[in-house]
Amino acid sequence: MTRNLLILIGGLLLGAIATAYFLGAPKGQALPGVPLRPPDPSGDSSGTVAVTVDEEFFDSLLNTIFRQLGPPQLKLSQNQNQNQDPLPLQPAALQSSCSDVLVLNPEGSNVKTGVRFTGGKITAPLAFTGSYSVLTKCVQFKGTAKATVDLSFDQSRQTVFGQLNVEDVTLDDVPPLISTLVTAFVRKTIAEKLNPFEVLQVSQLNLSLNVQASGGLVKARVKDVRAEVQEGALKLYLTYDFSAEKK
């Protein structure tokens, strides 16, 4: 019993130290623009239109990606310090020929990859497989993750962006001694390779109307975006800024 306890404690310490040494903290890019706020019930709703997307829309989108393009493969760069002088002795995990790839799958371990709107939050269950080099050994793994999604609007780029925040990772049949390393690899790969991602280019929804009777042109450009998470759907409120010019 004492021996098993010592092995467990040693594994936890090794995992924590190795994680910090090999991977460090996730370094995904900052979410562009400003975070999306809920609609103001007392605000002026003139010039505002609503766009609703539901879970079925994202299910169809993801099914198309998995069927026609194949499962997304995310490779974490092994050269984390390209602008620094190389270390005289690299860790064994960086010397291995293991692919260090995370593959997002349509489903696995009774979890279906998708986007869910519930409880006022956007969540994203993920199923994955992959390989990761640990102490000269290539570890094949599979598991699931639970993530939340934050949204922002960058007015200058006329785009709504999203960011995945992985809150929980569950691995199948991975030895406890290296599970901390693999979990950190999954978190870091998602943060660096997926975030931030485009949700909606509102520039495609801008307006340009030719008013012949007035001899001019009316334009409308999105100046603000709000979001409301409903059960099973996401509602985006786009507020336009109108302008006109004579021909």
Q: What pLDDT digit, counting tens, does each position of 21-76 carry?
A: 444 555 557 889 999 999 988 877 788 999 999 999 999 999 999 999 999 999 97
- First CA to last CA across the chain, in angstroms? 86
**Rg over CA atoms, the chain:** 23
Please tell me the pTM assigned to this model. Answer: 0.78
Q: What pLDDT digit, counting tens, does each position of 162-174 carry?
A: 999 999 999 998 8
**Predicted local distance difference test score (pLDDT) of residue 77:** 57
Containing 178, the helix (H) or strand (E) segment is helix 176-193
Nearest to 19 by CA among 169, 229, 146, 200: 169
The residues facing 187 across adjacent strands are: none
What amino acid occupies position 75? K
**Predicted local distance difference test score (pLDDT) of residue 28:** 58
- Residue written as tokens 């390989």? 131
Containing 102, the helix (H) or strand (E) segment is strand 101-105
| Residue 204 per-residue DSSP state | G
